[in-house]
Amino acid sequence: MKQFDIITETDARTIDIGATVELRAGGHVTPLAQDTLAARRVTVVRAGSHDPTLPADLAPVTDIKRVAIGSDHTGLAIKSALVSYLRGRGVAVVDLGTNSTDPVDYPDIAGAVARSVARRESDAGIAIDGAGIGSAIAANKVRGVRAALCLNETMARYSREHNGANVLTLGVTLINGPDAATRIVEMWMGTPMREARYIRRLLKIRRLEDAFSRE
């Protein structure tokens, strides 16, 4: 990870989009650089924030190479657009249906996407239905899955950087078509989760899962 004592506007423009850099103790970021870093989706972590004692499998996969995707009958157009977008980026896509306008139940589709991620058959998952809420509820019943409904790019960034979401759900009635969905997915996939303080909270979520399974 690249380290800095100070990050200026010039420095900020040279950092790769979506990268994470470390600011050494006592270092600072100039005001102009802060705006550029935000625009380039660069994450700045303070020195010493990395915690090697945390389980390595807590944070979601950063370099997403294989995505499981599924939608109910309402989301076919968006699913088709996202499949084309992902494959165009060289990402392997597991299309879990549906591929017909005949009505299907969202828990079946979201569950299949979630299981693919939980079994590590896919690095991440995308589930689509009318509002996205039901798919998130269903996917979160699968152990190890953290599904988040995202309606815009800000929610997408937060769901990954702060909450470690490994499944994204989308609601076709709540977003403005395939182009908006693509922008959300681009932000979601391009945002890493690196800060120990956020990853440490995922450990508490895992412990909640463990405690409930023993009750």
CA 132 to each of CA 43, 91, 157: distance values in angstroms, whole numbers, following the listed order? 28, 23, 17
How many angstroms separate the CA atoms of 83 and 81, rounded? 6
- The reply to whether 50 belongs to the active site is no
The CA-based angle 161-162-168, given to 5 degrees, is 70
CA atoms within 13 A on the CB side of 64: 29
How many angstroms separate the CA atoms of 207 and 40, rounded? 34
Question: Containing H/E element for 11?
Answer: helix 9-14
Active-site amino acid positions: 162
